[in-house]
Amino acid sequence: MRSSAGPLLGAVLASALTVLAGVGLMATASTLLATAALHPPLYRLMLLVTGVRFFGTSRGFFRYLERLLAHDATFRYLARLRTRLFAALIPRVPAAARGLASGRLQERLIGDVGRLESVPVRLLVPLGAALAVLAAVGLGLGRLHPGLGAVFGLGFLVATVPIPALGYLTAVRLGPRRGALSEELRQAAGELAEGLPELLVYGEAGGRVRALGELARRQARLERQEAALFALGEALLELAAGAVLVGLFWIGAEAIRQGDFPARWLPAVVLSGFAAFEAARPLPQAGVLLAEAGAAWRRIGTLIALPDPAPEPARPRSRPRRHDLELRGAWVGYPGASEAVLRGADLALPERRQLWLAGPSGSGKSTVAWTWLRFLLPQRGEARLGGSPIAALEGTEARRALVYLDPHPVVFFGTVRENLRVADPEADEEALWRALEAALLAERVRRLPAGLDTPLGPGGVVLSGGEARRLAIARAVLKNAPVWLLDEPTEGLDGSTERALLRRLAELLRGRSALWISHRPLPGLGLPRYRLEGGRVRRA
């Protein structure tokens, strides 16, 4: 992947040249007017007229070039940033998400990554351009008169150091509180929307709305404080620019009195120094971004710093041809948890055999499935696929042999067709309908307005809970894997639909391996029953 350093340096240079073109435009235009007031011959004005045209035209060109290069640098930076961040986060998030509310996780993966997106354009380019303008204009004024260079340099440094520092300190002090409130607001709003029917039944909807309103008011108060401090910074910046203008005028007038340069240069000296402050105006926001980006890096770092619960092997073995699964004295826990969920668990799922794993909620039934799916690896003991330790296999390769029905299946934002093709992107229409028939969902989909191309909305609101579960079963049918891990596959279904679906699944799974995870009986299957309690598995 190409580096963004070249376009970024080009954007800094183009931004500095944009400001310097503005400085040149002010200097030549003011000198032209001052000189023309003395009624010189026309040829003495032609160079200044040409300068005005050149700087006026080049300013627009350099601004366009800055935008072009800055966006090029940003897109390259984002490609690397997102690829690296998500590559680091993806192995950790399935397990780490158990300890994060959905609002917090969204804030990490969307909000914090979004804050880092603006670093090149809003932080690095303005800072580099400001330094270049300080050097160029300060040296130029200093050549005319040391006092001019000193006044400009001092005023510009005040505008580019303490004023952005005020924005930085404001963001450091108030930003974490606003970020925490934003997470809390997002979580509370999501819970209110999702749980509204139940809240209405219990008469608590009004209380939740008032609590949400109080959170919004607290956030508004923080934002008003931030806005007041940012406005103070902007005012101080304008005061610094005005003070430099007055200082340049005073020192320039004294230099003219002493005969150091012609009087007609004074407007150019004063206005060019004032125009150079254009480079300092983005810096208060750059100070804010620096604080926000640093905090975002630290928050993302807490996720990246979590131990990878299933690191990939340095030299992976090829996927075995057999598909029997086994746990041998497995101790398995989640990152950051104080104790293991499985404590010396032993369980074997022979090839083409099916088992029923029961146990109380929280006993670790799903953890067994996650271990065989290679989302987690045992801290002690072993998990095996086809006789090979799962730790020695690549995660993608190990999961090719498995299909997993989650107890809370996700319906993705998109159409029925797109949701099914998660399992098989190349599946044709006939295969999609066969999968829906197998999951007893075909008739429901045929009644939808656009059939397979019906949008299911956010969270699959078009479907009921039981229909969403059957959609997940249709996805599993499409994958056509030799081993199925079914975690509460009939939860939320009525009795007759449950029996019909179990009969259909029994037909589909004939000749395959399957682990049925369920806290309640599975009628009509007659499977060997195992029970998980205290982190160990025993035959029931």
**Same-domain check for residues 330 and 295:** no
Query: Are 286 and 366 found together in one domain?
Result: no
244 shares a domain with 340: no
Average pLDDT over residues 67-84: 83
Query: What DSSP line would sit under 457-501, residue for residue?
Result: -GGGTTS-HHHHHHHHHHHHHHH--SEEEEESTTTT--HHHHHHH
CA pair distance 107, 86, nearest whole angstrom: 14
| Whether 364 and 467 share a structural domain | yes
User: Is 389 strand, coil or helix?
Assistant: strand
Alpha carbon of residue 165 to chain centroid: 26
Q: Which residue has the higher pLDDT, 303 or 103?
A: 303
The reply to whether 294 and 346 lie within a common domain is: no
The DSSP secondary-structure symbol of 8 reads: H
The domain boundary residue, chosen from 304, 337, 370 = 304
Digit-coded pLDDT (tens) for 438-494: 888 999 999 999 999 999 887 777 888 788 888 988 999 998 889 999 988 877 667
Q: Domain for residue 291, yes or no?
A: yes
Confidence band for 58, pLDDT divided at 50, 70 and 90 = very high
Please indicate, yes or no, whether residues 149 and 64 belong to a single structural domain of this protein.
yes
Check whether 405 has a pLDDT greater than 50: yes
- Asked whether residue 206 is assigned to any structural domain, the reply reads no
Give the DSSP letter of residue 452: G
Is the same domain home to 291 and 329? no
In a domain, 503, yes or no: yes
Contacts 24+ apart (CB under 8 A), 347-352: 347/530, 347/537, 348/324, 349/324, 349/325, 349/483, 349/513, 349/515, 350/324, 350/513, 351/322, 351/323, 351/324, 351/482, 351/513, 352/511, 352/512, 352/513
Q: What is the 3-state secondary structure (H, E, C) of 291-313?
A: HHHHHHHHHHHHHHCCCCCCCCC
Count of domains forming the chain:
2
Give the torsion through C-alpha atoms of 93, 99, 101, 103, to 10 deg.
-40
Last residue of a domain, one of 304, 338, 366: 304
Beta-bridge partner residues of 328? 382
- pLDDT digit string (tens) for 222-276? 888 888 888 888 888 889 889 999 999 999 898 888 888 788 888 888 999 899 9
What value does the mean pLDDT take over residues 144-166? Answer: 88
**188 domain residue, yes or no:** no
Pair (298, 344) in one structural domain? no
Indicate the pLDDT class of residue 350, thresholds 50, 70 and 90. Answer: very high
pLDDT value for 105: 62
Cβ-Cβ contacts under 8 Å for 146 (sequence gap 6 or more): none
Which residues, at least 6 apart from 150, have a Cβ–Cβ distance to it below 8 Å?
142
Residue 1, pLDDT score: 39
Domain termination residue (choose one: 256, 274, 304): 304
Summarize pLDDT for 288-344 with one digit per residue, the tens: 888 888 888 887 777 777 777 888 888 888 888 889 999 999 999 887 777 889 999
pLDDT at 348: 94
Q: Indicate if 388 and 481 belong to the same structural domain.
A: yes
Q: Which domain holds residue 381?
A: 325-539
CA separation (Å) from 57 to 21, 29, 67, 226, 279? 9, 13, 16, 38, 19
Q: What pLDDT is stored for residue 246 in this prediction?
A: 92
For 178, counting Cβ atoms within 10 Å of its Cβ (0-12 exposed, 13-18 middle, 19+ buried), the class is middle
How far apart CA 378 and CA 401 sit, in angstroms, is 20
194, part of any domain: no
Same-domain pairing of 436 and 496: yes
Residue 403 contacts residue 479 (beta carbons within 8 Å): yes
pLDDT (0 to 100) of residue 92 = 67
Is 178 a domain residue? no
Tokens matching residue 48: 């200044």
pTM above 0.85, yes or no: no
Query: What CA–CA distances, in Å, run from 314 to 305, 317, 392, 510?
Result: 20, 10, 9, 37
Q: Report if residue 255 sits inside a domain.
A: yes
Provide the pLDDT for residue 357. Answer: 93
Alpha-carbon gap, residue 241 to 273, rounded angstroms = 8
| 15, 156: one domain | yes
Q: Is the residue at 190 inside a domain?
A: no
CATH number, domain containing residue 364: 3.40.50.300
> What span, in angstroms and rounded, lies between the C-alpha atoms of 187 and 50?
61
Q: Does 335 share its domain with 425?
A: yes
pLDDT grade for 95, boundaries at 50, 70 and 90: low
Q: Can you give the pLDDT at residue 106? A: 63
Look up the CATH number of the domain holding residue 41. 1.20.1560.10
